[in-house]
Amino acid sequence: MPRVRRCALSLHPCRSLLKHWSEHVKPVVGMGAAAWRLNPLDLRPLRLASSAQRPISLTCCSPDSAPRYERLGECRLRVCVLEVGFAYLMTPPITAEDIAARQRIRRGLHRRLPILTWLPLYKRARLRPDIVAGVVVAALAIPQSLGYASIAGVPVQVGLYAVPIALLAYAALGTSPQLIVGPVSTVSVLSASLVASLHPVGVAQAVAYTSAIALAAGVILILAGLLRVGWVAEFLNKPIVTGFVFGLTILVIIGELPNLLGIPVTPGDVLHRISVLVRNINQIDLLTATVGVSALAVLFIGQRLLPRMPWALVVLILGLAASHWLELAAHGVAVVGHVPKGLPTPSVPLVPPSRLVDIVFAGAAIAFVGLAEGLSAGRLYAAKGHYRLDTDQELIAVGGANIGSGLFGGLGVAGSLSKTAAVDRAGGGSQVSGLSAAAIAILAILLVAPALSALPKAVLSAIVINAVWGLMDLAAIHRYMKVRKNDGITALVAAGGVLIAGPMLGLLLAIGQALLGMVYRSSRVDVEVLGKIPGEKAAWGGVRQHPDRITIPGILVLRVDVSLFWVNAAEVQEAILQAVDAAPDTKALILDLGATDQLETTSADMLSELRDQLAERNLDLYLVRVRWPVRTVLARTGFRAQLGEDHLWHNVAQGIREARREHGIERPGQAEPEPIVEEAAEEIVAASTPEDMPDSEAPRRLR
């Protein structure tokens, strides 16, 4: 950087202090005192904490720019009581690389914090319906969170703490403008089961385990989102989720009946609870049962008559009023008990080191189940509203909500279908609804939380039962049975597994059954003989149900109707050999692999072995409609070179034409003219590489 003449700047102290700081300033060292790099087009004076009395040294990128500063003259500047020296270094111009780097950072921030994208574009006309939707959500979420905390086996405030934190975190990180994240029944039941399996000592340790599981779930979800493994949630298909939720709902209802009716029941599995309920039916507390059944009746009848009314909030208020006026606690009705006022200080829940592994596995289960439920709700309303969800960012968003909930002493959270539906019905179209609901929830925690101490547990159980009742979807299970029996069996296995083995083992059992079914279906292969469809240009189809389709004497065309992979490779090989042996006059086999989009070593080796077996029978093998990933694997294994490029073709017609030419097979003397050599676009596998493009002068052979 060239040195230029010395010159000085005369600046008014007040003006210099009122100037904006330059965004391009960076500290450097020079002239025995601190100096700054300043934008050359924006000489905004900066105050230096230095007592040095020196003339100003001006250094710039180009000597040509020096004369414009000479006319400023020479002086000193006094700021307060210090004589301050200035030294300016001119910044180099911003390069294209700098701009690209800033754009990448901006895109990254906007992707990881979607609120930076939608909030500046928010239209004030949407404010009223969004706030109304937020009020509706708060009216649902606050009483339900109390019930879900009861389901999870922890004090009611644990559910309350999760509501605002989850809403705020998802509003900042989520990609759905309508999805509401908070405590949900499935996660609460699963959390209760997992915490019970850890055998906590006292309520405080149960709360610590619950929050630690939520924290672990959040960390796992964020890692999954960053690693882009959101596809894992697809293993929980609709039949699994329907059956799993059905079983959980039954567990919840059975677990709430003792509080609803005032029957003493000792802890145990579902069969134990049912047997104790039946044996102790004569010990029903009439006043408790009256309160609980009345609350349940108001909820169900009210929702039938006025479905838009927040009946859970109405019942909550009525229950509190009745408890105060009638002094229900003094007459033996169990109440919630002490509920502290205000939000807790964020902290990491303390758990014994010996339980950390169990906490991580429990967190993974919560993450897996919550993700399946949340994505189902998010995708449903994304399709309805014609917007797109970023699955990996959704993992990060729900993970952030779980981490926030865990740090504030809350329970695990997930996307809620019922509350999202409430937002949609109320006209909410952005996460301002969630922010509004969070603000209302914070006010409730700060102002009215202690008043919940007198709430009868029977009322809370009625709210819980009403909230989960609609999750028992018998119609869906009946539909699965009607459409495809295996789907119905999967749903029943999930429900039965939850009831018999518990939520976690039941879920794993259902997933395992579904995966085994998928592998079994993939192993059941169908290799069918193809013939040309009369009256259509180069169209080929199976002859099993259509004997009128034209086959070629001496050439056998077979299609593997499933994707070829290591599970079904041996069966495909056996089916092909059986078809070949059933056609003794065959000279060439045309094998259509259009259904196979990937290939691995076992299947490639099977094709090589098949070629050798066909050669022993004096048959020539041609592969048609071979996709690019499959051809790549065949080339790496050496099979493509062994087979020869003149035995790989884009469509059936080309393969048959080459086989006829090589083996001197005459065209059949049938009324259908030129049935083989016609080519049609639908036979050609679309490829993304230039070498797959057809040659205008030659047949489209695979290169």
Question: What mean pLDDT comes out for the span 285-311?
Answer: 90
pLDDT of residue 679: 46
Higher pLDDT, 632 or 271: 632
Residue 491, pLDDT > 70, answer yes
Question: Residue 599: what are its φ and ψ, rounded to 5°?
Answer: -145, 150
Instruction: Give 552's DSSP letter.
Output: B
Of the candidate ranges 145-154, 608-617, 618-627, 659-668, the one whose mean pLDDT is the lowest: 659-668
Predicted structure pTM score: 0.66
DSSP string, 620-635: EEEEES--HHHHHHHH
Distance of alpha carbon 177 from alpha carbon 394, whole angstroms = 12
Distance of alpha carbon 661 from alpha carbon 18, whole angstroms = 90
Question: What mean pLDDT comes out for the span 357-368?
Answer: 91
The answer to whether 563 and 595 have CB atoms below 8 angstroms apart is: yes
Beta strands 620-624 and 648-649, pairing class: parallel
Query: Which residue's entry shows tokens 């952030």?
Result: 400
pLDDT of residue 93: 60
Question: What mean pLDDT comes out for the span 645-665?
Answer: 88
The answer to whether 578 and 586 have CB atoms below 8 angstroms apart is: no
Instruction: Give 235's DSSP letter.
Output: G
pLDDT of residue 681: 43
Dmax (CA) for the chain in angstroms is 112
Domain coordinates in residue numbering, the chain: 13-90, 126-497, 525-692
pLDDT of residue 552: 85
| Token couple for 519 | 């592998």
Distance of alpha carbon 16 from alpha carbon 44, whole angstroms = 7
Distance of alpha carbon 280 from alpha carbon 262, whole angstroms = 10
Phi-psi bin for 86: left (phi > 0), alpha (psi -120 to 50), beta? beta
Q: Is 701 helix (H, G, I), strand (E, B) or coil?
A: strand
Residue 169, pLDDT > 90, answer yes
pLDDT of residue 112: 87
| Token couple for 374 | 């949340």
pLDDT of residue 233: 66
Q: Is 677 helix (H, G, I), strand (E, B) or coil?
A: coil
Count other C-beta atoms under 10 Å from residue 434's C-beta: 34
Q: Is 608 helix (H, G, I), strand (E, B) or coil?
A: helix
Q: What is the pLDDT of residues 428-485, one digit of tens each?
A: 889 999 999 999 999 999 988 888 888 898 998 888 888 778 778 888 999 999 998 8
Query: Which residue's entry shows tokens 């959980």?
Result: 248
Distance of alpha carbon 358 from alpha carbon 380, whole angstroms = 33
pLDDT band at 351 (very low <50, low <70, confident <90, very high): very high
pLDDT of residue 667: 62
Q: Is 448 helix (H, G, I), strand (E, B) or coil?
A: coil
Question: What mean pLDDT comes out for the span 17-38?
Answer: 37
pLDDT of residue 374: 84
| Token couple for 236 | 């929980």
Question: What mean pLDDT comes out for the span 130-147?
Answer: 86
Cα dihedral 418→420→426→428 (10° resolution): 170
Question: Residue 262: what are its φ and ψ, rounded to 5°?
Answer: 75, 35
pLDDT band at 668 (very low <50, low <70, confident <90, very high): low
Instruction: Give 550's DSSP letter.
Output: B
The answer to whether 629 and 688 have CB atoms below 8 angstroms apart is: no
Count other C-beta atoms under 10 Å from residue 88's C-beta: 21
Residue 683, pLDDT > 50, answer no
Question: Residue 268: what are its φ and ψ, rounded to 5°?
Answer: 170, -175
Distance of alpha carbon 75 from alpha carbon 55, whole angstroms = 8
The helix (H) or strand (E) run that includes residue 516 is helix 503-523
The residues, any chain, with a CB within 8 Å of residue 524's CB and separated by 6 or more, are 562, 568, 571
Distance of alpha carbon 140 from alpha carbon 310, whole angstroms = 6
The residues, any chain, with a CB within 8 Å of residue 634's CB and separated by 6 or more, are 599, 604, 607, 626, 640, 643
pLDDT of residue 194: 87
Identity at 280, one-letter amino acid code: N
Residue 25, pLDDT > 90, answer no
Distance of alpha carbon 17 from alpha carbon 497, whole angstroms = 72
The answer to whether 348 and 452 have CB atoms below 8 angstroms apart is: no
The residues, any chain, with a CB within 8 Å of residue 478's CB and separated by 6 or more, are 488
Number of continuous H segments (helices) and E segments (strands) in the chain: 25, 14
Q: What is the pLDDT of residues 254-295, one digit of tens each?
A: 888 888 888 887 766 777 788 888 888 888 889 999 999 999
| Token couple for 542 | 């199976």
pLDDT band at 30 (very low <50, low <70, confident <90, very high): very low
Question: What mean pLDDT comes out for the span 188-196?
Answer: 85
Mean pLDDT of the chain: 78
Cα first-last separation, the chain: 57
pLDDT of residue 500: 85
Distance of alpha carbon 588 from alpha carbon 656, whole angstroms = 9
Question: What mean pLDDT comes out for the span 216-238?
Answer: 84
The answer to whether 344 and 409 have CB atoms below 8 angstroms apart is: yes
pLDDT band at 53 (very low <50, low <70, confident <90, very high): very low
Identity at 521, one-letter amino acid code: R
pLDDT of residue 412: 94
Residue 673, pLDDT > 60, answer no
Residue 502, pLDDT > 60, answer yes
Question: What mean pLDDT comes out for the span 680-687?
Answer: 38
Select from 3.20.20.70, 3.30.750.24, 3.30.70.270, 2.30.110.20 the CATH code of 525-692.
3.30.750.24
Distance of alpha carbon 294 from alpha carbon 260, whole angstroms = 10
Count other C-beta atoms under 10 Å from residue 497's C-beta: 24
Identity at 594, one-letter amino acid code: G
